[in-house]
């Protein structure tokens, strides 16, 4: 599939998938279909005017690894592909930072994280002064649930990360929660849906982390029986982030992938894809598919450097996690709302995760104010409005800064290097394609706009000094003066071999 970047019109063509959607997987250990249908009347009593919302935010999922993007035949994502066919595939979907804490802080607050000082992973925890989207939805009458990686409760100090209970999800507007990256979770309910006394309680789970998080999400949906409130579920899958694992129930389905590290990365993506299929099957059984808005977005690009590679990739984009080239911040981005958004759309205008936050609040009729920096996308997705969603997108992270306006992107590495890229040329953010010598006036105008925006943030200005790690990134990916290591063992990040004693299915189920 090929599309032009930053077109003046939104395209509504049906994307082609390399895979047909296989039938939805049976729910594991959460009751039979007949039992679910027996409680369907409880769901039918929910408000019909405001949608339910499922916001899925994955971790280090690279742009390559959606089959519907058409960049790698090894990828298996039938349910993600079907979600895109049923709604919108955003081919220029971005996040506000190339790192997880600031990207998540932006999503949950609904505004650029630099505005309140969470510029990077050292900027947490998420301050209570931010009126989060969960708090806004709660105040609008939604039941709010959170599952998976939170990461907004950390105070990073030399040699350690301090987890602060006062910043757990329930202190930021989530009524129900099962949060943690893997193995050990802080929860309001167990995986069978039973409320836990004196929550949050620690729950230890031996299952593969993606399966555990899917089950927790399904349990949240099960608890909506008899609840007439609309729901908001924030599902933050901890995948394909390190540590890599090789669960046999997914690895065996990817035997065609020769590189073992790549197979592990794609196994975690496949597990998320299975989870999405189960969630959509559950929504159908609940009778709420037409009135449920689903977003799927990755928090940043995949890491590829030595010691960090997790088997996910960013081709054909340049760069990786930790960079303000597209490989670090342009991500898988899908939305579907069958009862409202026409299906089969490929949307080429630039958007970012703040727009998912703003859209969520707008359709929920939740409290909004001028702190919400995103744009409600519904008018564009229903054909009521056309053209660019944003005049410009702005970034500043560590010693890098960038601005995207129309088809021009200006990137600055401290006060040391400047680049101007024509983003109609996909995968060309390299020094060989730096157009700054041809269009210096465009670069100067964009840098001035970027500086003006940066001066409004909590820590004003643009970085002058260059962090060594950022220089290394640019030497390798942009200026290409360093030869990258081959994929596979030369770059491999942390890996935990699968313990054959660990269960691969849940009790009372046939397994994925």
Contacts of residue 438, defined as CB under 8 A and 6 or more positions apart, other chains included, come to none
Q: pLDDT digits over 395-433, tens only?
A: 999 999 999 999 999 999 999 999 999 999 899 999 999
In the chain, % of residues over pLDDT 70: 89
Q: pLDDT digits over 87-135, tens only?
A: 999 999 999 999 999 999 999 999 999 999 999 999 999 999 999 999 9
Sign of CA dihedral 115, 60, 3, 271: negative
Note the pLDDT of residue 14.
35
Rounded to whole angstroms, the Cα distance separating 158 from 317 reads: 33
pLDDT bucket at 293, cuts 50 / 70 / 90: very high
Query: Residue 31 above 70 pLDDT?
Result: no
Among 429, 433, 449, 432, which Cα is nearest to 441's? 449
In 118-183, beta strands by DSSP E: 143-148, 154-157, 160-163, 176-179
Rounded to whole angstroms, the Cα distance separating 282 from 214 reads: 11
pLDDT bucket at 491, cuts 50 / 70 / 90: confident
Note the pLDDT of residue 509.
57
- Return the bridge partners of 177, or none: 146
Asked if residue 6 lies in contact with residue 424, where contact means CB atoms within 8 angstroms, the answer is yes
pLDDT bucket at 492, cuts 50 / 70 / 90: confident
Two structure tokens written together for 51: 């949608």
CB atoms within 10 A of CB 48: 12
Note the pLDDT of residue 257.
97
Share the mean pLDDT of the chain. Answer: 90
Two structure tokens written together for 116: 């309140």
pLDDT bucket at 48, cuts 50 / 70 / 90: low
Two structure tokens written together for 38: 């027996």
Give SS3 for 419. strand
Which DSSP helix (H) or strand (E) runs through 262?
A: helix 260-286
Asked if residue 360 lies in contact with residue 372, where contact means CB atoms within 8 angstroms, the answer is no
Query: Residue 27 above 60 pLDDT?
Result: no
pLDDT bucket at 456, cuts 50 / 70 / 90: very high
Which DSSP helix (H) or strand (E) runs through 106?
A: helix 100-109
Q: pLDDT digits over 360-393, tens only?
A: 999 999 999 999 999 999 999 999 999 999 999 9
Note the pLDDT of residue 226.
86
In the chain, % of residues over pLDDT 90: 84
Across 24-49, average pLDDT: 40
Note the pLDDT of residue 176.
98
Which DSSP helix (H) or strand (E) runs through 202?
A: strand 201-204
Two structure tokens written together for 219: 């349990």
Across 11-19, average pLDDT: 34
Asked if residue 44 lies in contact with residue 287, where contact means CB atoms within 8 angstroms, the answer is yes
Q: pLDDT digits over 49-82, tens only?
A: 899 999 999 999 999 999 999 999 999 999 999 9
Asked if residue 135 lies in contact with residue 173, where contact means CB atoms within 8 angstroms, the answer is yes
Note the pLDDT of residue 46.
47
Residue 267 to residues 65, 86, 290, 313, 334, Cα–Cα distance (Å): 11, 24, 30, 13, 20
Query: Residue 156 above 50 pLDDT?
Result: yes
Residue-by-residue DSSP string for 268-324: HHHHHHHHHHHHHHHHHHHT-GGGEEEEEEESS----STTTB-S---TTSS--TT-S
pLDDT bucket at 160, cuts 50 / 70 / 90: confident
Contacts of residue 498, defined as CB under 8 A and 6 or more positions apart, other chains included, come to 245, 246, 247, 248
Among 64, 93, 84, which Cα is nearest to 13's? 84
Note the pLDDT of residue 32.
33
**Which stretch, 41-55, 156-170, 188-202, has highest mean pLDDT?**
188-202
Note the pLDDT of residue 401.
98
Note the pLDDT of residue 28.
40
Note the pLDDT of residue 2.
33
């Amino acid at each position: 599939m090929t599309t032009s970047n930053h077109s003046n019109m939104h395209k509504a063509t049906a994307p082609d998938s390399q895979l047909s959607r296989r039938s939805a997987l049976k729910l594991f250990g959460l009751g039979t279909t007949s039992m679910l249908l027996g409680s369907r009347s409880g769901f039918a009593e929910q408000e019909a005017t405001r949608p339910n919302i499922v916001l899925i935010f994955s971790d280090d999922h690279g742009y390559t690894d959606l089959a519907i993007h058409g960049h790698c035949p090894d990828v298996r994502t039938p349910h993600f592909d079907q979600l895109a066919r049923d709604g919108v595939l955003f081919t220029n979907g971005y996040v506000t930072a190339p790192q997880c804490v600031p990207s998540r802080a932006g999503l949950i607050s609904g505004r650029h994280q630099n505005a309140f000082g969470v510029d990077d992973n050292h900027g947490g925890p998420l301050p209570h002064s931010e009126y989060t989207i969960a708090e806004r939805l709660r105040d609008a009458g939604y039941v709010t649930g959170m599952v998976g990686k939170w990461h907004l409760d950390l105070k990073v100090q030399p040699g350690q990360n301090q987890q602060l209970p006062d910043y757990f999800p329930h202190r930021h507007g989530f009524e129900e929660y099962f949060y943690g990256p893997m193995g050990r979770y802080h929860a309001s309910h167990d995986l069978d849906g039973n409320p836990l006394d004196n929550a949050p309680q620690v729950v230890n789970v031996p299952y593969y982390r993606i399966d555990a998080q899917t089950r927790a999400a399904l349990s949240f949906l099960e608890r909506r029986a008899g609840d007439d409130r609309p729901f908001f579920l924030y599902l933050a899958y901890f995948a394909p982030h390190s540590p890599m694992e090789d669960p046999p129930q997914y690895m065996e389905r990817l035997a065609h992938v020769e590189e073992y590290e790549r197979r592990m990365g794609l196994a975690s993506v496949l597990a998320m894809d299975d989870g999405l299929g189960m969630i959509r099957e559950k929504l159908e059984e609940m009778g709420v598919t037409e009135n449920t808005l689903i977003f799927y977005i990755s928090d940043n690009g995949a890491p590829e450097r030595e010691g960090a590679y997790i088997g996910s990739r960013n081709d054909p984009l340049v760069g990786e996690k930790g960079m303000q080239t597209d490989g670090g911040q342009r991500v898988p981005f899908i939305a579907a709302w069958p009862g409202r958004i026409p299906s089969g759309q490929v949307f080429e205008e630039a958007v970012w995760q703040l727009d998912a936050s703003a859209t969520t609040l707008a359709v929920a009729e939740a409290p909004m104010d001028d702190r919400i920096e995103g744009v409600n996308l519904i008018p564009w997705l229903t054909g009521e409005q056309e053209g660019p969603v944003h005049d410009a997108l702005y970034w500043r992270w560590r010693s890098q800064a960038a601005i995207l306006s129309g088809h021009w992107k200006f990137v600055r590495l401290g006060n040391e290097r400047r680049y101007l890229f024509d983003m109609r040329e996909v995968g060309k953010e390299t020094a060989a394609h730096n157009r700054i010598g041809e269009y210096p006036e465009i670069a100067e105008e964009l840098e001035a706009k970027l500086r003006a925006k940066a001066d409004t943030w909590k820590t004003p200005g643009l970085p002058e000094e260059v962090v060594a790690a950022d220089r290394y990134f640019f030497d390798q990916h942009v200026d290409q003066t360093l030869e990258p290591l081959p994929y596979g063992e030369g770059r491999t990040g942390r890996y935990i071999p699968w313990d054959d004693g660990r269960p691969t299915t849940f009790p009372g189920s046939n397994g994925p």
